[in-house]
A and B are shown apart, each in its own frame.
Chain A
């Protein structure tokens, strides 16, 4: 008996390889949007590596945190590279998350039987938000300090126990070194592990029901004599090789950003990150990072403290029920022109809200912010009605695919 036979007999890995790679049949008509998933996986691995290496030099105390981050930038060999990889990686992850979610919305990937895949995926997005939030508290710059103060203040709106929860989260009456300690712990252990676990479940649940495709039709409904979908191709080697190509292109973009525009015009890394925390001096304007600012714009849109927070929470939670708001038998918006237009308006509106959330809190922005919030909510409210009555084209019986 060779070593290979001896090992294979005892190992679950060959079976897992077949189930999830070599014999996982994916639709053959994937387009460019389908790179986002594998790229996210790559980015999480890179965040883990760069995060581990900056953590090796980071000191989570109120007195030393800020200087230790500058130490990473100036004193650690290639520390600037690890730091920028970690900082810019966050923005790239959110770009990919938004592409990935927009893809799912365009082609109806959240629809039956993939509701759980969607819910796990959206939960992962929320976990990434938490991870990003804890992450940008850690340098303990003045932005970190005030962002932490503002976000932890949100808990005060919880009825009855709000103040207790806020104190618990902060580890004191206000932001302090104690907050930094628990946020560091959360950032590197709990939230990170939750993200990894959710990603594993996201993939397992996806592989149980199979991937959707741009035409939104089930390839499993049409199986060949070998029992495999006629319109499916094995993930390995077809899509693994394709994804490898995507890695190459994406890493080139990533490297170009790190080397030539690490702050990306102060969008990926805000100017206010470069002054140390000062409890006596608020920032000129407190704006969240670009990937959270759409929700922040909605928070500001309502001139009532609890009202704004409720709108923001509702806006964040709405996508969870998306699978049940869409009533149309056709999944892909390729065959649903009205929903497609609604979606495109929704996406544009989301980025307009992101822009508005970055602006100073001036009255001239209140109207656009309220309009943006209304469009955001209107999409979810109108979807059940529109999807029920909209005219659709008949999707094809087989996926549309032209060999290269």
Chain B
């Protein structure tokens, strides 16, 4: 049987061919998809990284007016034991109109921290010590007039000069757009300890 007679006998059925091509393309894409998804997923943070997610901080050594920084998920978390005088500055900064977002309307903190203290317990500020501008680590500057003559205490970023009050609310004139982020945490005042559990998903770190 020569090739020509064969061709006449089996004239190409174009519809059938198109259907088969489409079938192969779709099923091939499905197969590729089922393997690409696990492949990309395998580059996600591992379960081991997730297991390191929480950090417990002991509050006992932190005396009034002092602060401590702990490492949580490769990020510095600052805990400040604020004195009544320091808490009083929070009203003052708001009244003077120094703040971009005095009422914390931007969800930079969990709902239970949406107050002027930006904390669960007024004395204890727990927040991520990362400047909202470009991810630098601001300095803690609690002394009055230590950054500028009008300075009431707060955080000052060494990179681009962003300023925050003692609740880490950003001060007008700073390049940083928002208040510094507060993670989700639990505080146990009997055991005097803080457990930082996870990032507040709506908060914008930097």
* A contacts, CB < 8 Å to B: 49-50, 53, 56-57, 71, 74-79, 81-82, 244, 251, 403
Q: Check A79 against B48 for contact (C-beta < 8 Å).
A: no
Query: Can you add 8 more A-B contacts, CB < 8 Å, to A75-B47, A81-B38?
Result: A53-B42, A76-B46, A78-B38, A78-B39, A79-B46, A82-B42, A244-B24, A251-B31
A251 to B32, CA, bound (A): 11
Contacts of B39 in A (CB 8 A): 49-50, 53, 78, 82
- Contacts of B65-101 to chain A: CB distance below 8 A: none
Given contacts A244-B24, A251-B31, A403-B1, contact A77 B42 (CB under 8 A): yes
A77 to B28, CA, bound (A): 24
Question: What are 25 A-B interface contacts by the 8 Å CB criterion?
Answer: A49-B39, A50-B39, A53-B43, A56-B42, A71-B46, A75-B46, A75-B47, A75-B48, A75-B51, A76-B47, A77-B38, A77-B41, A77-B44, A77-B46, A77-B47, A78-B38, A78-B39, A78-B41, A79-B46, A81-B42, A82-B38, A82-B39, A82-B42, A244-B24, A244-B28
A251 to B34, CA, bound (A): 12
A74 to B43, CA, bound (A): 14
Contacts of A76 in B (CB 8 A): 42, 46-47
Q: Check B48 against A56 for contact (C-beta < 8 Å).
A: no
Closest to B24 in A: A244
A79 to B47, CA, bound (A): 11
A77 to B45, CA, bound (A): 8
A82 to B6, CA, bound (A): 47
Q: Measured between C-beta atoms, what is the minimum distance from B10 to chain A in Å?
A: 9
Contacts of A251 in B (CB 8 A): 31
A71 to B49, CA, bound (A): 10
Q: Measured between C-beta atoms, what is the minimum distance from A84 to chain B in Å?
A: 11
Contacts of B49 in A (CB 8 A): 75
Closest to B49 in A: A75
A82 to B44, CA, bound (A): 13
A49 to B32, CA, bound (A): 13
Most B CB contacts (10 A, CB to CB) among A57, A77, A251 go to A77
Contacts of B43 in A (CB 8 A): 53, 56
A292 to B77, CA, bound (A): 54
Q: Check A71 against B48 for contact (C-beta < 8 Å).
A: yes
Given contacts A49-B39, A82-B39, contact A74 B6 (CB under 8 A): no
Closest to B20 in A: A241
* A-contact bits for B13-35, CB 8 A (1 contact / 0 none): 00000000000100010010000
A78 to B24, CA, bound (A): 26
Contacts of B47 in A (CB 8 A): 74-77
Closest to A46 in B: B35
Contacts of A57 in B (CB 8 A): 42, 46
Q: Check A79 against B42 for contact (C-beta < 8 Å).
A: yes
Contacts of B28 in A (CB 8 A): 244
Contacts of B41 in A (CB 8 A): 77-78
A79 to B42, CA, bound (A): 6
Most A CB contacts (10 A, CB to CB) among B1, B39, B42, B47 go to B42
A244 to B20, CA, bound (A): 13
A57 to B41, CA, bound (A): 13
Q: Which 10 A-B pairs have the closest CB atoms?
A: A78-B38, A75-B47, A75-B48, A75-B46, A77-B41, A78-B42, A76-B46, A53-B42, A77-B44, A78-B41
A78 to B51, CA, bound (A): 17
A330 to B77, CA, bound (A): 79
